[in-house]
Structure 1
Amino acid sequence: MEISYNRIDDLLEAVSQRLISVDFRAIGDAPFHASVKWVVASPEISVMRSRHSPGATFRDHRKVRDGDDSFSLIYPVNSSLRLSHLGNERRVAAGQPIFTRHDAVCEMGAANRCNFVALVMSPSVARSAGLLDSGMIARRLPRSLPALTLLKDYISVLDARDRSLTGEVGCSAARHIGELVRLAVGELTDRQIETDPAAIAVSRLDVALAFLRRDFREPDLSVASMAAAQNISPRYLHRLFEQAGIRFTGQLNELRLTAASEALRQHADKPIALIAMESGFSDIAHFNRLFRKRFGMTPGAMRGRKSEP
């Protein structure tokens, strides 16, 4: 759930209590507005998605004296940001991650509306990932790096949930995120950093299932195409599904059939063949067989039923 703020002081107080003490300087005379979603909250890793009016968020010399030595991984969502940190002036493009450290002066912002994700990690998490001596702080990182892509996709999956992840669930999500950070630093530095395969597998499976729910209407969707999107082998993705007790074809057909049944009850004048195609089926005879087996009636009979309230 997103929380809205119409006063800068209210936003700063909330961020200070949950993440880190920062300040904000508005640009322009338009009324201030911000919305924040606390995606994950745990002692070691927290994730926040924020949208706010034009301006700059910063930690100046006064702020960095507070002794906070945590780290962040920040990436803009829709538009670029300007970042000033450790003597570097950077333009950070949408989707491009960048590491920052909180014991050094830092400023980021934009002259238009800002939309970004901030992953804040404790010094122990950063140290275990090898971040402190990686040379990656304040460097623009490649958006296409597989581990970073997986990390951003996994955060998007968590962000899609209605509530913030706290308590044991939040700590579990934070552990998975921490392993993905370790994996990313290893790829960036060509180091062999030990990671937990089980935690990474959970993240990959969650992302794969999110892709499946998003793309099930694509007629050519397959394990191979989904694996290619995640830069993993189809065999590995098959194994992830099997270990979770999920049959890919069965899950895909269930999503398509559910979408078709809803469309049949809501669109009385739309041809059944068109509904089948829009739901992801390319063979109408195959669709009819699966539909009757799943619902115990033909698509035409389903059409006569009213939508559930």
Structure 2
Amino acid sequence: MAVLLDTAALPRADREEAFYAAMMSASVPARVEHETPSGEVHARMDFWLLGTPDLFRNEGTGIRLVRTPKHVRIGAPERLALAVQVIGTGRFDQAGREQRVRTGELMLVDLTAPYDFAWRGAGASQAFQIDYADLGLSVETIRAAAPRLRSSPLYDLVLHHLTVMPTVADALQGTESAAQLGEATTSLVRALLTSAADHRDSAPAMADVLFARITWYARNHLTDPGLTPARVAAEHNISLRYLYKLFAKHQLSFEQWLITERLAGARRQLTSTPHRPIASIAAQWGFLDPAHFTRRFRRAYGITPQEYRRRG
């Protein structure tokens, strides 16, 4: 976690300017208005980088953020934000649609278009910000989903996920799992929007969420020798046949995917622990036969584990 701003450490006269600078570094250009008199601004902003997407939390005294057409013309990355109001009640207006966002509710913000968002008194909001390119959905789908988020059977799941994300993201900062958390959350958001845009058929979206959950689970148990297809299926209350079907939908074999992930983990450790025996690393990642590990490694990367370690 990076603390972008904590006004408690600043002179009162500098807080508004510092707030504006921190807000613009974390999100897109907008006009900032404070409810409290000059100098009485209180705020804390936290930021977590999760690969390409990020998580941004702002808590403090009443504010209003107005993104005008002029701000849009200035340019900014093409992103959207799925935000949860964690303290207080927000008022959000975009594309002629105004809504009250109460504590524990989600709102979808198109950061490429004008909007008006505010809360009075003490409040806090945390937003998962993601590039349109990574989300892979059309503008029409996103606009259709925005007013119908609650119609999705995934609404409560995604709401809980975003609410607890700061604690999880803190624990994963500095690890490869942070980017994996970003990828998994992206899949959840994609499924939420797809199912909300056309809530009559949410089965494909639910399958995408299940696939994301399974790959997240497997990546966190890669060094467990008991990680088998049968165990993964049982942990997610599905049949072994359906597990294979989910992976086939993504043009993958579960076993080959697992081997690829374990090889990648072993490859990273070859250079991060240069004095540890290669056979020991191979065994940790599920390759009990060193010769088999060497053959698999060479097939995947074109060189032997020893050559890879020598090259650094």
Taking structure 2 as the reference length, the TM-score comes to: 0.58
Shift of 1:165: 3.5
Corresponding residue of 1:81: 90
From the superposition, tell whether residues 160 and 141 of structure 1 become closer, same or farther in structure 2 (CA, over 3 Å): same
Instruction: Letter of the 1:199 partner, please give it.
Output: A
Shift of 1:196: 6.2
Task: Give 5+ residue unaligned stretches, structure 1.
Answer: 207-234, 243-309
Q: How many residues align?
A: 211
| Cα contact 1:50–1:117 (8 A) shared by 2 | yes
Corresponding residue of 2:213: 200
| Cα contact 2:94–2:116 (8 A) shared by 1 | yes
| Cα contact 2:48–2:56 (8 A) shared by 1 | yes
Deviations 1:114-148 (A, max 9, x none): 2111111101134x245543434652632x84423
Matches within 5 A, 1:153-168: 153-161=160-168, 162=170, 165=173, 168=176
Q: Partners in 1 of 2:208 and 2:2 — Cα distance? A: 32
From the superposition, tell whether residues 58 and 95 of structure 1 become closer, same or farther in structure 2 (CA, over 3 Å): same
Instruction: Letter of the 2:107 partner, please give it.
Output: I
Q: Partners in 1 of 2:156 and 2:218 — Cα distance? A: 14
Q: Partners in 2 of 1:201 and 1:120 — Cα distance? A: 23
Shift of 1:14: 2.5
Q: Partners in 2 of 1:164 and 1:16 — Cα distance? A: 25
Matches within 5 A, 1:123-138: 123-126=132-135, 128-130=136-138, 132-136=140-144, 138=146
| Cα contact 2:65–2:118 (8 A) shared by 1 | yes
Task: Give 5+ residue unaligned stretches, structure 2.
Answer: 8-14, 220-230, 239-312
Taking structure 1 as the reference length, the TM-score comes to: 0.58
Corresponding residue of 1:169: 177
Corresponding residue of 1:118: 127
Q: Partners in 2 of 1:131 and 1:176 — Cα distance? A: 21
Deviations 1:97-118 (A, max 9, x none): 1212122211111121221111
Corresponding residue of 2:289: none
C-alpha RMSD of the superposition: 3.3
Shift of 1:39: 3.4
Shift of 1:166: 5.5
Q: Partners in 2 of 1:14 and 1:41 — Cα distance? A: 19
Decide which structure has greater helix share.
2
Q: 3-state SS of the aligned residue for 2:48? A: strand
Q: 3-state SS of the aligned residue for 1:32? A: coil
Instruction: Letter of the 2:157 partner, please give it.
Output: L
Q: Partners in 2 of 1:103 and 1:124 — Cα distance? A: 13
Corresponding residue of 1:13: 21
Instruction: Letter of the 1:54 partner, please give it.
Output: G
| Cα contact 1:75–1:97 (8 A) shared by 2 | yes
| Cα contact 2:26–2:56 (8 A) shared by 1 | no
Corresponding residue of 1:239: 235
Corresponding residue of 1:151: 158
Corresponding residue of 1:96: 105
